[in-house]
Structure 1
Amino acid sequence: MDTITIKAKGISVSLDLTVGHLADMAVDIDGRRLQPLHRAPWVDARETLPENLPEGTVRLSGDFLCAPFSRSDIEDAPLHGWPANSAWDVVDSQATSDGWRATFRLQRKVMGATVDKILTLRDDHPFLYQEHVFSGGSGAISVAHHPMTAMKNGGRLAFSRKRFAATLDDPLEPDPARGRFLLAYPARSTDMTHFPDAAGGTIDLTDYRMDQLREDFITLVEADHGGPGWTALARRAEEDLVLVLKNPAELPVTMLWLSNGGRDYAPWNGRHRGVLGIEDGRASVGHAASVGDNWLKREGVATAFALDEGSKVSFRHVIGAVPQSGGEPPRDIATAQGRMRILAADGTERDIAFDSDFLRIGRSVPA
């Protein structure tokens, strides 16, 4: 069994057990089926891929746990670590009084820690509630979720309040023979609608345009606003709103991966189009950088969890989708008393079922 599917009323999620990636997510709501997550075009194509690709790239899908995020340069592991590249076992999967709950365990250990993935679905909630638990281990580990969505005709973004956005010293694809990028590197801005671009002008980070071929990566640092961190993407052609939420105390940064035909080499071959990674994490780029000195730490941002034998570290994350026409993201999102209230761009409000206790805003988090 390579894939397991769990279901509750109005929602189903499939997990690829060979690499721990979400292979599919479907939300049935208001007479429609929404599929917010992306699956790379080569995964099911039965084509010959380059040798030595990380297994997580070969089966690139949906969302997965990165531990560490990016380079695994302390322990020997592929890009994004063993949780994104190796097998998971089913520990438990069963119906609950209001949905379904399943627990999976990584067959390998990370820095000596046992890693569990807990997926929860609730009847008539258009959300996947995720928790990852590291038990034991030693040292420190950077982590990130890696949800990816895709658009046929672009979309518009909105975020919970951020301190600033910043790019790294170097772009993902600096060689024009292999790919292209649009943002300036390094650069920084507090205005998400006016970020420096490589041509000397500015670009609107809230507008994902299909005519801008690019491979870009940018980090958004959460502001201290006392609520959940969130990203909302209004997909134009799909006529829906993709929602990704976190507890900023656990995952203080949101890293955006904009992959729109910006890589010309295999397996990408210019066909990875309209993809946006919304990567909430506690990380810098690379394990060694995350546990050592880095630019985020100098900004007061935590970039790793400390592991200790006999103790546990956990963090939570939410992915969802609801129907929406008009292509404009919300002005604001608030969660309380078992509901999510979405304040639309036109000033109207919409309430949907949401486990407002799940992210535990305000709880203390280990360093």
Structure 2
Amino acid sequence: MTINDAYRGLGWAHGALTVQRHAAMLAPLTFLLGDGRQVSPMHVAPWAGEPGTESLPGILQRLRGEWPCVPFGYSVPGDASPPDWAASMEPAAADEEVHGYSSNHPWRWEPSDGTSLRLSIDYPADSAVRRLERSITPDPRAPAVDIALTIIVRENCRLPLGLHPTFRLPAVAGGARIEPSRFDDGRTFPGNVEPGRELFAVDRRFSDLAVVPSRDGGARDASRVPLAADTEELLQLNGIDGSVALANAAEGYRVRLSWQKEHFPSLLLWYSNRGRSAAPWNGRHVALGMEPICSPFGLGPGTALADNPIARSGTPTARTFRAGETFLTRYRIEAEAL
């Protein structure tokens, strides 16, 4: 694989971007703001390019930026989960890959007209999914990128879906603020994301991201990032109106993500805050995932299809596809000066 085959880029009046073939991940992404400053809001994992990364699981090898996950999630044991969650948590299938086949394998470049980058990936012949297609198109009039994802299936199926934008955070604790659009219901994770690095209470509801129940019996402001604590946590906002912003006050810009809420009714917030000590994380990974999903916390396809507590509450955790269906969803990442 040549360097030109592994990565391709585009530049336009308001920025520049790079996409890699592996998992079709978008980053770096640099925007030129109206006041002339350049900002790069997408995260690149600190082990990118280190020796030995080729032996990591596919999704981790060059982890960065934004990419689609079909199906979204991965299965975990329900041992530490409340009974109503444990009853719906299913073991991993034999062929399960973290966040789906597309997150772990190289995509194929497709012809484009020079104003966008296009990729596709064919799934294994025994998969219900036949093919994914992805396009990344800079907005010629603004510091913004429009992204389209097409899913083509072979057979009737139900799948949890997710988009995985992961954002870079400032060095100072609390230097940025998460600004979600209106949502119906916030939930803490029903278990331990990383044992020994817990911060939020187990399986609790909340209505304000600034007041989230914590393990110590109090409450934490989960809207200000990065968090001061060394932790690895997940929060899910259900019935969200289809947008979220990260106002990076420390660096003077806001990045906004918007999507089709009818396709992704929830937002998963991944707080990766030096909480994982095993390689390649090594206690140094600091990033924020703001991930539009149709899934229960990314708890794997089996749990997403089961009668889990989020599905019972009225928020879908999987989408129904019909054989031969072509599903198209669109979303946008844009930036502005604060």
What TM-score comes out, normalization by structure 2 length? Answer: 0.86
Shift of 1:74: 4.4
Q: 1:28 to 1:209 in 2, by over 3 A?
A: closer
4+ runs deviating over 4 angstroms? none
The one-letter code sitting in structure 2 at the alignment partner of 1:23 is: A
Aligned to 1:255: 268
Shift of 1:262: 0.9
Aligned to 1:47: 51
Q: 1:237 to 1:108 in 2, by over 3 A?
A: same
Query: What does 1:129-208 align with in structure 2 at a 5 Å threshold?
Result: 129-138=146-155, 139-151=157-169, 152-153=171-172, 154-174=175-195, 176=196, 180-208=197-225
Say yes or no: does 1:20 pair with 2:24: yes
Shift of 1:157: 1.6
Aligned to 1:58: 61
- When you count helix as a share of all residues, which structure comes out higher? 2
Say yes or no: does 1:111 pair with 2:128: yes
State the alpha-carbon separation in 1 of the partners of residues 317 and 12 from structure 2.
35
Shift of 1:130: 1.1
The one-letter code sitting in structure 2 at the alignment partner of 1:33 is: Q
State the alpha-carbon separation in 2 of the partners of residues 150 and 18 from structure 1.
20
State the alpha-carbon separation in 2 of the partners of residues 40 and 165 from structure 1.
28
Aligned to 2:113: 94
The one-letter code sitting in structure 1 at the alignment partner of 2:193 is: L
SS of 1:296's equivalent in the other structure is helix
SS of 1:191's equivalent in the other structure is coil
The one-letter code sitting in structure 2 at the alignment partner of 1:251 is: F
- When you count strand as a share of all residues, which structure comes out higher? 1
Aligned to 1:300: 314
Aligned to 2:9: 5
State the alpha-carbon separation in 1 of the partners of residues 261 and 321 from structure 2.
19
Shift of 1:107: 3.5
- 1:180-205: CA deviation from partner (whole Å, max 9, x where unpaired): 12111121111222110011100112
Shift of 1:8: 2.8
Shift of 1:50: 9.2
State the alpha-carbon separation in 2 of the partners of residues 150 and 264 from structure 1.
19
What TM-score comes out, normalization by structure 1 length? Answer: 0.80
Aligned to 2:331: 317
Residue number among 221, 232, 235 corresponding to 1:218 in the alignment: 235
Moved more, 209-218 or 62-71: 209-218
Query: Please, which runs of 5 or more residues in structure 2 have no aligned partner?
Result: 76-91
Say yes or no: does 1:34 pair with 2:39: yes
State the alpha-carbon separation in 2 of the partners of residues 211 and 204 from structure 1.
11
The one-letter code sitting in structure 2 at the alignment partner of 1:206 is: S
User: Is the contact made by 1:9 and 1:122 (CA closer than 8 Å) also made in structure 2?
Assistant: no
SS of 1:128's equivalent in the other structure is strand
State the alpha-carbon separation in 1 of the partners of residues 54 and 215 from structure 2.
31
Shift of 1:12: 2.2
Shift of 1:47: 2.9
Moved more, 278-287 or 74-83: 74-83
The one-letter code sitting in structure 2 at the alignment partner of 1:314 is: L
**How many pairs align?**
309
User: Is the contact made by 1:20 and 1:85 (CA closer than 8 Å) also made in structure 2?
Assistant: no
State the alpha-carbon separation in 2 of the partners of residues 302 and 92 from structure 1.
35
State the alpha-carbon separation in 2 of the partners of residues 279 and 81 from structure 1.
15
Moved more, 277-286 or 109-118: 109-118
Structure showing greater relative contact order (alpha-carbon pairs closer than 8 Å, 6 or more residues apart)? 2
